[in-house]
A and B are shown apart, each in its own frame.
Chain A
Amino acid sequence: MPYLYMRLYNLLSIFIFTSQAFGQNYTQGTIYDQNDNSITNVKVTISGTKNASFSDDNGKFILKFYNEETPVVFTHPNYDTLNIMLKPSDDRIIYLQTKYNTNDYHLGFMAGYIDFSNKNKNKNLENMPYFLGESDVNRQLQMLPGIEQGTEGYSNLFIRGGDVDQNLMLYNGTPIYNPNHLFGISSTFHHKSIKNTRVHKGLSSAKFGGRVSSYIELESEKTNNYSGLDGEFEMTPLNAGIYISSINNGKGFFTLAARRSWFDLLTPVESRQNSLNANIYDIQLNFGKVLENQDEIEFNFMNTRDFYFISLQDDSTQNLNNTRISGFTLKWSNILASLKYKQSLASNLNAEHQLYYSGYQSSTRLKEEIFDINIRTVPTTERELLRGIKDVGVKSDWVYQRNNKNTLQFGLQSSTRFFQPGRLTYTSVGYPSIDDINTVYGNEKYVGSSEIALYAEDRLRVNKDLVFDLGFRQVHYFFDGYSKFVFEPRLHGTYFLKNQDVFKFGYNRHNQFIGQLNLGTTGSPDNIWVPATELVKPRKLNIIEVSYERQIGKHYAGSLNIYSKSMQDLVEVSNLSDAGDPELDWQSSVVFGSGRSYGAEFFFQKSKGDVTGWLSYAYSRSFRDFRDLYDDEYEYSFDRPHMFKFYLNYTNPRSDWNFGFNYILGSGQLFTIPIGKFRDIDGNTQLEYNALNNYRSNTYQRFDISVIRLNNAYGLEQEWRFYLYNALGNKNPLNVAAVFDNANFSQVQIDRAYLAYVPGIAYIVKF
């Protein structure tokens, strides 16, 4: 079947190039305000005619016309009208002057979309309070409505009742399969390596697919207000980091971000090698160049690693001639690399092609060595468990402006994934009377799956107020004889109202052909990526969403989103130990169910002035129905009906002191605790759970503070950042668990762990 897609794709290409030969003249460009923010919905008209076009969500416009040089008028209610002469095939950057104190909130993009450069801009996120002082893009997202951290203190993202593995996180277009350091406490991204974060919380264009919760695009810095070399050095309790950027606007860019933990370096090398060691690092390297023909080429690379080692010496036998040393090593790493080529084939036809590789691997190794004076060899046994995933992808995304009313996006995307759910290697060497052993259990090799998607979407501007995005995504999936075609409609409407407000609505279907078995803790490296199979069907999502957005006064903006999601063929692990056993088929340890979520998200923000920030309230519910786990529908683990979030920052360019505050008030987290106990039919004591997730902990309340002290010494800008997490000391549980004195549960105690008054500090030097 992939051949069918290739043929379709070729036909489309032929059609487009043929149409090009007969095409008329086009002029194009991008429209910005004086702060380099793109402006959407600007009317671009050939003066004195009805030939008009509108700028898109990114401020880009393309206008078809016939004369050699034409007067063009740019009009928008919030900006001064601009009249200029444009030539055919021009590619211009147009700046519009904001009318005095006009509200420049960006009304564009689909319902449920949010980012930090257009929709929620100028919030000085570097001043946000961060856990332990680690600036973290995930913690920025956690402050948005509909996005929750899950377990207290963690850097995970649970979006509108979805699981973590249902988010597709793309770093410069490449998926990353474990974006966690420290078991989920910190993300793997140096905050400076992310220039903009874009989140599609449910609805998305047909270009995105393969996940049923969200798509998160992380884009590194590629342009700047000025060309030149820039950088900073950062020191936190966990890491030392450096960021270097060399931006040559219009010609190319180079950025390098790297962090490494430093406290292990204080210990002697011998100690690190023989007794205790722990370190993490990540590196992100991006390079781009504009070619002579104005095409662009871009290379991105990312590598992360967590490493933990502990060694114990057992000399309990009191026999100094015989010593056993056991070493336990745990490590996991990501490697991402991608090559992009952006080409402009004609003024109304652009393409972006990407080839990427993303690999994630975790390993646990237990090694025991015996040092015996009576044995000439060192008898050694080693047990190593490897898990991982490799993804090789190709994308070719095209944009074709058919006329002033229709813009067509289409493309072909392929992802070939190789899964290693568990490979256990056992070796034993050097024992005097036993032959050496080298045995492999579980899956000896990676097993492959293929996912190919063909998509197309037309942006149809019906009139100046009404825009439809009508698209589809057709996906073919193949794994081990299991073949599946799915069709995903992507429908969205945008209606610009009269009072600088907008109404949006949409419906999407998404399928997910990959999932992660959660073996106890979200973000843990033990969790296993697995493919959809004949038995474990792809997850499905249907979502509808409506939203209303409005510019309020001159400084504020507000939005209200209402959504409803239904999810089918969800997977939960029913037996943690069996699911993690590489010798057993993981499919035997999972159960299947469905879920539903609905909610309303209110968002109010201020983007201008020294004091900026936002407040939000989300009412959201999420449920799961796994009849093999419980006889009835139950509340999802991270269901939090009420969540109020407030982020405020004070950044005064004339002051040496800046401040940031986070305040969150909402429903407590759900846990499952035993309420009673009883004797079963065999006479054993069993715990009684009246339901899953039956205990909602106390009201969640958290107040975080950051204080930033700016300093200038030796010609270098310096910053001291001080943080306090949960400054009010509210007992927000990290975990609530029943602790038993023995297997008969004769004494049970409910313990609660929580994080309070967690300090953080960071020192930054900019150059």
Chain B
Amino acid sequence: MKKYIIVILSFLTLGCHQDTINPDLIQDYREKMVVNAVLTSGKPVKLILTNSLSAIDANGFKGIQNADIKIETSSVPSERSMSYVPGDTNYVSNIIVNAGESLRMKIKHPDFNSNITSTVAFPVLVGAFANLTVDGGIDTSGLPGDLIQVTFNDPGNQPNYYRLKIHYFNQTIGSWIPLAFTKSDPSLTGYNSYVLNDASVIFSDELFNGSDKVISTVAPNGLVSSNTGDKYLVEFSHISNDFFEYYRSLQRAQDAKEISFAGGYNNAVVIHSNITNGVGILATQTNSTTILK
């Protein structure tokens, strides 16, 4: 009987063929400058420059040196240079940009024909603070757990984006460990909030625009009950739209990698960028950090 099956399957598959192609789109690919930076208000500007490669290039990425980087801010509207740190791919500047200000960056490099530019704004302060109520909530196992609440004032009439990352202090090893965030707040829905791989959550204010907002989470029972000093570190950031879109696209790309079959553009994710004539991200944020004891 096996021969019948073989004959039929052969018949059906007779017309199926496969080959490997090298599309012009990839052959003609020209390297781009990759700009990566998370700029925090009140801290010096620092960024990393690398190159991109053709999809079929087996070489590794290189750091870019000799770039002429000029930046200007809304408070100091004159161009100032960033300097390269040898041995590293970092470019640094002592310029500090405050919350609510904007920054314009222009990069020239002989290997890249066009100027690479980007203009970003730093989000405003939202008066964020955090509270701890020991055993003030019920954890996912139904046991009492520490209730951590973050309160902030969401600016109205504009879309805002936030990132929340909570750590707990492991007294045994003496370091901060990220706490897996449980999305229990009804305004953090599947389509406007994402838990990233580093256990932080990014979300938009779509469902509470212009309101005073409290985000709560409950730590597992007994997590830091033996801690004598620091218990939790709450990093709350008001982030730019580009920051949100960039991390959201990274997360989608990560999810898509887990799907092995071809799903059209469903598993091809365009990573968000705000770099003109290049790729990467100039993400901005305004941070507030609280240690809860």
| B227 in contact (CB, < 8 A) | no
Q: Is the beta-carbon distance between B15 and A751 smaller than 8 angstroms?
A: no
Interface string of A608-641 (1 = CB under 8 A from B): 0000000000000000000001110000010000
Q: Is the beta-carbon distance between A692 and B16 smaller than 8 angstroms?
A: no
| A246 in contact (CB, < 8 A) | no
Q: Is the beta-carbon distance between A675 and B29 smaller than 8 angstroms?
A: yes
Interface residues of A in 640-694 (CB under 8 A from B): 671-682, 685-694
| B262 in contact (CB, < 8 A) | yes
| Chain B residue at minimum C-beta to C-beta distance from A185 | B12
Q: Is the beta-carbon distance between B270 and A630 smaller than 8 angstroms?
A: yes
Query: Out of B11, B53, B190, B264, which one reaches A584, CB within 8 Å?
Result: B190
Q: Is the beta-carbon distance between A688 and B55 smaller than 8 angstroms?
A: yes
Q: Is the beta-carbon distance between B191 and A587 smaller than 8 angstroms?
A: yes
Q: Is the beta-carbon distance between B54 and A675 smaller than 8 angstroms?
A: yes
| Chain A residue at minimum C-beta to C-beta distance from B50 | A679
| B19 / chain A contacts, CB cutoff of 8 Å | 731, 751-752, 754
Measured in the bound complex, the distance between the Cα atoms of B20 and A752 in whole Å is 6
Q: Is the beta-carbon distance between B269 and A637 smaller than 8 angstroms?
A: no
Q: Is the beta-carbon distance between A680 and B272 smaller than 8 angstroms?
A: no
| B255 / chain A contacts, CB cutoff of 8 Å | 575, 577-578
| B22 in contact (CB, < 8 A) | yes
Q: Is the beta-carbon distance between B263 and A576 smaller than 8 angstroms?
A: yes
A164 to chain B, nearest CB (A): 13
| Chain A residue at minimum C-beta to C-beta distance from B63 | A679
Measured in the bound complex, the distance between the Cα atoms of B22 and A752 in whole Å is 10
Q: Is the beta-carbon distance between B34 and A678 smaller than 8 angstroms?
A: yes
Size of interface on A: residues with Cβ below 8 Å to B? 77
| A234 in contact (CB, < 8 A) | no
| A677 / chain B contacts, CB cutoff of 8 Å | 52-55, 57
Q: Is the beta-carbon distance between B280 and A681 smaller than 8 angstroms?
A: yes
| A177 in contact (CB, < 8 A) | no
Q: Is the beta-carbon distance between B32 and A676 smaller than 8 angstroms?
A: yes
B interface bracket (residues with beta carbon within 8 Å of A) = 35 or more
Q: Is the beta-carbon distance between A692 and B265 smaller than 8 angstroms?
A: yes
Query: Out of A573, A575, A680, A734, which one reaches B36, CB within 8 Å?
Result: A680
| B246 / chain A contacts, CB cutoff of 8 Å | 681
Q: Is the beta-carbon distance between A678 and B20 smaller than 8 angstroms?
A: no
Interface residues of B in 231-288 (CB under 8 A from A): 246, 250, 252-253, 255-259, 261-272, 279-281, 283
Measured in the bound complex, the distance between the Cα atoms of B23 and A266 in whole Å is 45
| A735 / chain B contacts, CB cutoff of 8 Å | 262
Output the residue of A587, A678, A680, A689 with the most chain B CB within 10 A: A678
Interface residues of A in 74-125 (CB under 8 A from B): none
| B85 in contact (CB, < 8 A) | no
| B173 in contact (CB, < 8 A) | no
6 closest Cβ pairs, A-B complex = A588-B190, A758-B15, A520-B263, A678-B52, A672-B268, A674-B55
Q: Other CB < 8 Å A-B pairs besides A266-B5, A692-B268, 20 of them? A: A518-B264, A520-B263, A520-B264, A576-B256, A576-B267, A577-B255, A588-B190, A631-B270, A673-B26, A675-B55, A676-B32, A679-B61, A681-B280, A681-B281, A688-B32, A695-B23, A731-B19, A748-B56, A751-B20, A751-B21
In the complex, 11 of the A-B residue pairs with CB atoms within 8 angstroms, ordered by the A residue number, are A237-B11, A266-B4, A575-B255, A576-B263, A588-B189, A672-B265, A680-B280, A686-B250, A687-B55, A752-B21, A755-B15
Contact surface of A with B, Cβ cutoff 8 Å: 132, 237, 263, 266-268, 271, 518-521, 535, 572-578, 584-585, 587-591, 629-631, 637, 671-682, 685-695, 725-726, 731, 734-738, 743, 745-759
Contact surface of B with A, Cβ cutoff 8 Å: 1, 4-5, 8, 11-12, 14-23, 25-26, 29, 31-32, 34, 36-38, 50-58, 61, 189-191, 246, 250, 252-253, 255-259, 261-272, 279-281, 283
